Structure 1
Amino acid sequence: MTVELPAVGVPHVAYQASWVPRDHIERRPAGVDFDAVRVTGLLGLEVACALDVATVRRSGPVIREDPDGRDETAELLFLVPVGEGLARRWPPGVRVFGFPTQAIRVPALWGNTYPLRWRSTPTRGAELVDAELLHRALCEITTWSPLPGGT
């Protein structure tokens, strides 16, 4: 896997994408600004860590919801480019939101947005998560193959 590294000294700074609310939680329709790929529990956290390593902590926007504060029950939403979530077969248990009738709760970058928070924020150059990288990480971690017959 080839990853382009950011220039030395370039800060990892969140920026206010047009779909991120300014000061609270808002519902945004999936399939308009992004598709969302939901991965739950420890698997979601393992995938998020793998993306952090592969992208030098510039994986793109990942929302974490954990109302009880436990990693085992946390839900992570990886926001990927429109159409790229629905264009792939995902491992069992992964859910994709890609239709405008499906609303995603998006927290503001700062302030009290409990039970949602940013695991990784959108940044310039990583406005959305690379869907191919996410898919590859999920398949490798779960040892699941998207090909018929499991090969």
Structure 2
Amino acid sequence: MTMTNAIHRPDWIPASGHQLRLAGVYFDAVRIEGVRGEVVAERIIEAADGDAGPVVCEAAGFRWMYFLLAPGEVRNHSWPLGVQRFGSRGDRALTYIGIPALDGNTWPLRWYSEPTPTTPYVRAAQLRAVLISSRRTMT
């Protein structure tokens, strides 16, 4: 049995299947819908040479992309329209984000980019820069 990335599994990632985790505790999240989310994910992964940090893809419905930031980061930046933010401690509503295991059956969720020891979270400033530049090229 190989232990590829299981060694680097943060404690908020389930061992199997998927589980809900409260945004603002283990991570903050930025959510982007469908094709726009996929384009942003591809660009941030390319800009980071494949080590962009954790991005979760929802395979059904609106095909949301969840970019997981360090706790507290979402409120430190202004975000463009069409981007949903979760995790600010001042929010009145609690938001749970589905987190898949690193392997096995996790449908309808999957990792688009996994957390690594060097990039445990998506860098908020880099995500924001990609969002701003992609908004100019997608319109």
Q: Into which bin does the TM-score normalised by the smaller protein fall?
A: 0.7 to 0.9
SS of the residue corresponding to residue 37 of structure 2 reads helix
Which residue pairs with 1:113 in the alignment?
106
Cα distance between partner residues in 1 of 2:5 and 2:41: 18
Pairing 1:53–2:53 present:
no
1:82 to 58, 62, 71: 71
Mark the runs of 5 or more structure 2 residues left unpaired by the alignment: none
SS of the residue corresponding to residue 38 of structure 1 reads strand
Which residue pairs with 1:25 in the alignment?
18
Question: What is the RMSD computed on CA atoms of the aligned residues?
Answer: 1.8
User: Given residue 112 of structure 2, which amino acid in structure 1 is its aligned partner?
Assistant: R
Cα distance between partner residues in 2 of 1:84 and 1:41: 23
Is the contact between residue 5 and residue 102 of structure 2 (CA under 8 Å) also seen in structure 1? no
SS of the residue corresponding to residue 106 of structure 1 reads strand
Corresponding pairs, count: 129
SS of the residue corresponding to residue 14 of structure 2 reads coil
In 2 relative to 1, CA 58–13 (structure 1 residues): closer, same or farther, beyond 3 Å? farther
SS of the residue corresponding to residue 86 of structure 1 reads helix
Q: What's the TM-score, normalizing by structure 1?
A: 0.79
Q: Whose radius of gyration is greater, 1 or 2?
A: 1
Q: What's the TM-score, normalizing by structure 2?
A: 0.86
Is the contact between residue 40 and residue 75 of structure 1 (CA under 8 Å) also seen in structure 2? yes
Offset of 1:99 from its aligned partner?
A: 4.4
SS of the residue corresponding to residue 42 of structure 1 reads helix
Cα distance between partner residues in 2 of 1:74 and 1:102: 18
Is the contact between residue 27 and residue 106 of structure 1 (CA under 8 Å) also seen in structure 2? yes
Cα distance between partner residues in 2 of 1:106 and 1:99: 18
Pairing 1:104–2:93 present:
no
**Which structure 1 residue ranges, 4+ long, deviate > 4 Å from structure 2?**
none
Is the contact between residue 57 and residue 64 of structure 2 (CA under 8 Å) also seen in structure 1? yes
Is the contact between residue 52 and residue 113 of structure 2 (CA under 8 Å) also seen in structure 1? yes
Mark the runs of 5 or more structure 1 residues left unpaired by the alignment: 1-11, 144-151
